[in-house]
Amino acid sequence: MKKNVYVGMSGGVDSSVAAALLKEQGYAVTGVYMKNWTKDIPGFPCPWKDDYQDAKRVAVQLGIDLRVYDFETEYKQKVVDYMIREYEAGRTPNPDIMCNQEIKFKLFLNTAMEDGADLIATGHYARTSNGRLLTAKNTDKDQTYFLYRVSAKALEKTLFPIGEYNSKQEVRDLAKKLKLATAEKHDSQGICFVGKVGIKDFLQQYVSTDPGVVMDTSGKIIGQHGGAIFYTIGQRHGLNIGGGLPYYVVGKNMKKNEVYVTTDLDDKNLWRQTIELTDLHWINNQPDPDKTYMVRTRYRAPLVKCATSIAGGDIILKLKDQVRAITPGQSAVVYDGDRVLGGGICI
């Protein structure tokens, strides 16, 4: 008997190819469009209707059913409100990671199972084996950084059909060969759920900010800003400080509404060799303190060797090399070869 696979179809080429591959492999495939966000931002209409229509076109081409799961209420509570709270606290969260944890591999999984699915699938560049998360063969597009908070139980019920492909071009070529409607569609940019809108434009709809001062590390006021909430460690662009060498954000004080910058790329506030992680999530088991692992501190950042040690409920990563712009609120993900152990939130 064919297994029922419910595929999250976003209207993009990756999830379209994922659905096509699963049908080719003999699964009974049902497409699901997750309606997570429909609100327009001034000047940036939400692209959800276009994405839904693209998913529908591909479903028709493949001869599969396309269902719509309305997760907008839960998405606002679990992802958007979380993101806003983190920014208000002066941290820099990653909404894609929270979306995977709470929506795609929890709410979507549970809803699909109740709806008759045996398995779910998405168009992520990743691989899974027996409840373990493995990096994609395409290391340039590997998305396991965003998936480290998914549970082993969810991974046992998940397929990543394009994780075995060596390049995005191979996926696009297959989409063209199959004449899928999304074959030439560009990858989405900006915030994961609002399309092309930038984070500052989005946050301005939900938070009120006051102007404040930009100071260099000697305490000299060298500029003004529109709200410390909009700045993140290591940021170079958008500071509006003219002349001379570029400035980099090295810190901020949310209570005083001050942003601190430097022109010195060697400034000690820009570099760290020790990272403390909180809000930990280990997919199968936590790291062995006697082993050396690799850690990624941002999506597509180079992997760096690290040792681990437990400190109360948190974990300390001691890096072989210094890393620039470790940002509170962002995630650091620990790897053992091609296997993702898990990770946590940088303090």
Give the pairing type, strands 221-225 and 132-135: unpaired
Please tell me the predicted confidence (pLDDT) of residue 311: 82
* Contact (Cβ atoms closer than 8 angstroms) between residue 61 and residue 16: no
**Which letter, b or e, does each residue of 112-128 get, where b requires 16 or more Cβ atoms within 10 Å of its Cβ?**
beeeebebbbbbbbbbb
Helix, strand, coil abundance in the chain, percent, nearest 5: 30, 30, 40
Q: What is the CATH classification number for the domain harbouring 121? A: 3.40.50.620
In whole angstroms, what is the distance from residue 156 CA to residue 253 CA?
Answer: 43
The domain in which residue 18 lies consists of: 4-177
The total number of structural domains that make up the chain: 3
Please tell me the predicted confidence (pLDDT) of residue 197: 76
Examine the domain organization and report whether 169 and 51 are in the same domain.
yes
261-265 LR contacts (CB < 8 Å, sep 24+): 261/214, 261/215, 261/216, 261/217, 261/222, 262/216, 262/217, 263/216, 264/217
Active-site residue set: 99, 192
In a domain, 184, yes or no: no
* Contact (Cβ atoms closer than 8 angstroms) between residue 272 and residue 322: yes
Query: pLDDT tens string for the chain (347 positions)?
Result: 899 999 999 999 999 999 999 999 999 999 999 999 999 888 888 899 999 999 999 999 999 999 999 999 999 999 999 999 999 999 999 999 999 999 999 999 999 999 999 999 999 999 999 999 999 999 999 999 999 999 999 999 999 999 999 999 999 999 999 999 999 998 876 666 666 778 888 999 999 999 999 999 999 999 999 999 999 999 998 888 877 889 999 999 999 999 999 999 999 999 999 999 999 999 999 999 999 999 999 999 999 999 999 888 899 999 999 999 999 999 999 999 999 999 999 99
DSSP state of 332: E
Please tell me the predicted confidence (pLDDT) of residue 41: 86
Q: What is the CATH classification number for the domain harbouring 321? A: 2.40.30.10
* Contact (Cβ atoms closer than 8 angstroms) between residue 274 and residue 318: yes
Contacts of 131 (CB under 8 A, 6+ apart): 152, 153, 155, 156, 283, 284
Instruction: Assign 214 to helix, strand or coil.
Output: strand
Examine the domain organization and report whether 238 and 287 are in the same domain.
no
